């Protein structure tokens, strides 16, 4: 029987272990970050596989059992477990992803993206924050428990994905087929950020969903002279620009019919909570480099629009001539990648279809438009009254020395809604990356402070949750 003082002593020993081993850990982190596990690039498939193998070797080394690489229709999924804390102890499923975004534009990186730079108390590399850094922190927190106490204070399962950055294609099938490997009382997802860059941790309670398409508008059979044919042949690039511009109106709202039908409105309490959160718009502007915030959807504050309201974006647009000088053509076609961020209770599958139908319906008869659905993921809101929230708050305060604030994130992590819908499993979103740490951008970074305090928080979190009974943790 472990007394309360034992638990405190063991937690402190595990935290002390992390501090003593920091130099070794950073060297290992460097090794992990060097593996270019870019899920979007088929040329990197072997590297994605190598990253999975690196993780499994680590899990085995630190005494986590059944570490398995599961092949999927895309990149592998990793599961592992340590279930020796007894049947009354809670079982927690830890989710992170080991794939990363492409690194381009590479010439904007101070050092190459897969050659980590340790400078200014930060680690710069692709994946430093999103999400290899957070996955690595979980490995080290488990290792600290295993080496100092010889055990974990609760039952842990690990669930690491290699397709998160490309839409989590295989995740639903995997959850259906391997529910037994994911069985837990609650899930902890570490794939988000702290509240600010000044040491305030965050507890996430919402994520946006996403739907993503490629649209192609085709006109003449080949490029034609814009003098000879201009005025007669409709220009696919002009048409595409008009079509996409019409997808948002003067109030900043998406015009696809039915788009807002299922949007759950912010409650008065939630709007009040948003209003009390510290937010420095000038700092936010400086960080992004924009001269001013956009007007966005009328009737909502900037903070609300950044996470609690849906959006529409053109992610890329191309076609026609973009070489040196000028070339006078009407291009044969133009194309765009577009996406919407979704909020509860929008249904991404429904939106995928309604956007496709809408674009096809507004295309004029002078062109043909084709719309391809690329990927989608559901939005999520996790209950703030979940019994796991107070222990998470205590653990974060122990690790960071500051109480966490609650935040709804604007990004998407499809697994969160999928675990709830398919297994009834609730998620606690405990993220450690820096909010201005250049996710998906050149010179991605995470601060050593967030790494240190985050790892300590995880060590505390396992002690906090381990002190509960499994039955008391289920929402
Ligand atoms: N970790 C991010 C999502 C995120 C960012 C959550 C910031 C909270 C705060 C994740 O890796 C991500 O980028 N997801 C994609 C999902 C998409 C490819 C389905 C996204 O949001 O674009
Ligand atoms: Mn991520
Ligand atoms: Mn990401």
Residue ID of nearest Cα to ligand 1 atom 5:
411
Mean pLDDT of 337-364: 98
The pLDDT assigned to 436 comes to 95
Q: How far is 156 from 142, CA to CA, in rounded Å?
A: 9
- Distance of CA 214 to CAs 97, 245, 319, 333, Å? 25, 15, 13, 13
Contact partners, residue 217, CB within 8 Å, separation at least 6: 236, 237, 239, 240, 243, 333, 334, 335, 363, 367, 368, 369
Mean pLDDT of 374-401: 96
Mean pLDDT of 221-238: 98
The pLDDT assigned to 383 comes to 87
| pLDDT above 70 (res 86) | yes
Mean pLDDT of 417-438: 97
C-beta separation of 76 from 69 below 8 A: yes
Would you state the structure tokens that stand for residue 218, as one six-digit string?
């085709």
What does DSSP assign to residue 183? -
List pocket residues of ligand 1, CB cut-off 6 Å: 130-131, 164-165, 167, 191-193, 210, 375, 377, 409, 411-414, 439
- The C-alpha angle with vertex 430 and arms to 175 and 284, in degrees rounded to 5, equals 120
Span from the CA of 148 to the centroid of ligand 1 (angstroms) = 34
What are the residue boundaries of the structural domains of the chain, listed by start? 4-208+379-473, 209-263+310-377
CATH fold of 4-208+379-473? Aminopeptidase (3.40.630)
Tell me the per-residue pLDDT of 208-221, one tens digit each, with 9 for 90 and over.
999 999 999 999 99
Give me the chain's average pLDDT, please.
97
Q: How far is 71 from 261, CA to CA, in rounded Å?
A: 38
Q: How far is 432 from 191, CA to CA, in rounded Å?
A: 8
C-beta separation of 339 from 211 below 8 A: yes
The pLDDT assigned to 6 comes to 85
Tell me the per-residue pLDDT of 434-475, one tens digit each, with 9 for 90 and over.
999 999 999 999 999 999 999 999 999 999 999 999 999 987
Residue 262: pLDDT band (50, 70, 90) is: very high
Q: Which atom of ligand 1 is nearest to the CA of 165?
A: 18
Residue ID of nearest Cα to ligand 1 atom 19:
167
Ligand nearest to the CA of residue 377, numbered in listed order: 1
Q: Which atom of ligand 1 is nearest to the CA of 97?
A: 11
Residue 22: pLDDT band (50, 70, 90) is: very high
Mean pLDDT of 144-165: 98
| pLDDT above 60 (res 1) | no
Mean pLDDT of 61-70: 98
Mean pLDDT of 356-364: 98
The pLDDT assigned to 5 comes to 82
The pLDDT assigned to 408 comes to 95
- The C-alpha angle with vertex 303 and arms to 302 and 304, in degrees rounded to 5, equals 90
Mean pLDDT of 258-283: 95
| pLDDT above 80 (res 141) | yes
The pLDDT assigned to 296 comes to 93
Pairing of strands 202-207, 380-381: antiparallel
Q: How far apart are the first and last CA of the chain?
A: 26
The pLDDT assigned to 7 comes to 84
Widest CA span in the chain: 88
Mean pLDDT of 320-346: 98
Tell me the per-residue pLDDT of 25-56, one tens digit each, with 9 for 90 and over.
999 999 999 999 999 999 999 999 999 999 99
- The C-alpha angle with vertex 50 and arms to 48 and 56, in degrees rounded to 5, equals 110
Residue 423: pLDDT band (50, 70, 90) is: very high
Span from the CA of 228 to the centroid of ligand 2 (angstroms) = 50
Span from the CA of 309 to the centroid of ligand 2 (angstroms) = 20
Ligand nearest to the CA of residue 437, numbered in listed order: 1
Ranges of beta strands (E only) in 410-458 are 427-429, 445-447
What does DSSP assign to residue 433? B
Ligand nearest to the CA of residue 411, numbered in listed order: 1
To test the pocket of ligand 1, the residue of 99, 126, 202, 412 to mutate (highest count of ligand atoms within 8 Å of its CB) is: 412
Tell me the per-residue pLDDT of 97-140, one tens digit each, with 9 for 90 and over.
999 999 999 999 999 999 999 999 999 999 999 999 999 999 99
Span from the CA of 194 to the centroid of ligand 3 (angstroms) = 15
More confident call, 475 vs 159: 159
Span from the CA of 388 to the centroid of ligand 2 (angstroms) = 22
Q: Which residues face 377 on adjacent strands?
A: 210
What is the percent of the chain with per-residue pLDDT over 70, rounded to a whole number? 100
Residue ID of nearest Cα to ligand 1 atom 4:
411
Residue 84: pLDDT band (50, 70, 90) is: very high
Residue 284: pLDDT band (50, 70, 90) is: very high
CATH fold of 209-263+310-377? Alpha-Beta Plaits (3.30.70)
Span from the CA of 101 to the centroid of ligand 3 (angstroms) = 6
Same fold, 4-208+379-473 and 209-263+310-377: no
Q: Which atom of ligand 1 is nearest to the CA of 414?
A: 19
The pLDDT assigned to 2 comes to 67
Q: How far is 384 from 322, CA to CA, in rounded Å?
A: 50
The pLDDT assigned to 337 comes to 98
Residue ID of nearest Cα to ligand 1 atom 1:
191
The pLDDT assigned to 4 comes to 77
Span from the CA of 219 to the centroid of ligand 1 (angstroms) = 35
Peptide bond into 105 cis (omega under 30): yes
């Amino acid at each position: 029987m472990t007394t309360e003082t034992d638990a405190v002593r063991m937690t402190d020993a595990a935290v002390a272990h992390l501090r003593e081993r920091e130099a070794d850990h950073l060297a290992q982190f460097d090794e992990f970050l060097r593996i270019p596990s870019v899920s979007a690039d088929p040329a990197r498939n072997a590297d994605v596989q190598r990253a999975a193998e690196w993780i499994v070797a680590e899990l085995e080394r630190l005494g986590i059992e059944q570490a398995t690489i599961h092949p999927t229709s895309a990149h592998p999924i990793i599961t592992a477990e340590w279930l020796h804390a007894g049947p009354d102890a809670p079982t927690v499923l830890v989710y992170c992803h080991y794939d990363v975004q492409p690194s381009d534009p590479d010439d904007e990186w101070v050092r190459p993206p897969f050659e980590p730079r340790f400078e200014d108390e930060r680690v710069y590399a692709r994946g430093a924050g999103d999400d290899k850094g957070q996955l690595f922190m979980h490995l080290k927190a488990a290792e600290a428990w295993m080496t100092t106490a010889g055990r974990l204070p609760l039952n842990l399962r690990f669930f690491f994905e290699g397709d998160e950055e490309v839409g989590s294609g295989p995740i639903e099938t995997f959850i259906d087929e391997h529910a037994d490997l994911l069985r837990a009382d609650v899930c902890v997802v570490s794939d988000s950020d702290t509240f600010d860059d000044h040491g305030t941790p965050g507890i996430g309670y919402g994520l946006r969903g996403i739907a993503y398409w490629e649209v192609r508008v085709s006109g003449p059979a080949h490029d034609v002279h814009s003098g000879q044919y201009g005025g007669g042949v409709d220009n696919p690039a002009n048409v595409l620009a008009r079509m996409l511009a019409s997808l948002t109106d003067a109030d900043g709202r998406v015009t696809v019919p039915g788009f807002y039908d299922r949007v759950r409105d912010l409650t008065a309490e939630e709007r009040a909570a948003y209003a009390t959160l510290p937010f420095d718009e000038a700092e936010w502007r400086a960080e992004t480099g924009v001269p001013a915030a956009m007007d966005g959807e009328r009737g909502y504050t900037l903070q609300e629009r950044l996470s609690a309201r849906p959006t529409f974006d053109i992610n890329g647009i191309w076609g026609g001539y973009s070489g040196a000088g000028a070339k006078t053509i009407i291009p044969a076609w133009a194309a765009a990648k577009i996406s919407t961020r979704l909020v509860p209770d929008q249904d991404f599958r429904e939106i995928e279809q309604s956007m496709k139908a809408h674009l096809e319906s507004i295309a004029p008869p002078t062109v043909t438009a084709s719309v391809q659905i690329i990927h989608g993921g559901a939005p999520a809101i996790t209950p703030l009254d979940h019994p796991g929230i107070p222990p998470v708050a205590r653990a974060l305060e122990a690790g960071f020395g500051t109480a966490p604030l609650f935040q709804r994130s604007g990004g998407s992590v499809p697994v969160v809604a999928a675990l709830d819908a398919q297994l009834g499993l609730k998620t606690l979103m405990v993220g450690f990356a820096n909010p201005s740490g250049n996710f998906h951008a050149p010179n991605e970074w995470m601060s050593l402070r967030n790494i240190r305090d985050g790892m300590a928080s995880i060590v505390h979190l396992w002690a906090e949750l381990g002190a509960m009974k499994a039955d008391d943790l289920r929402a």
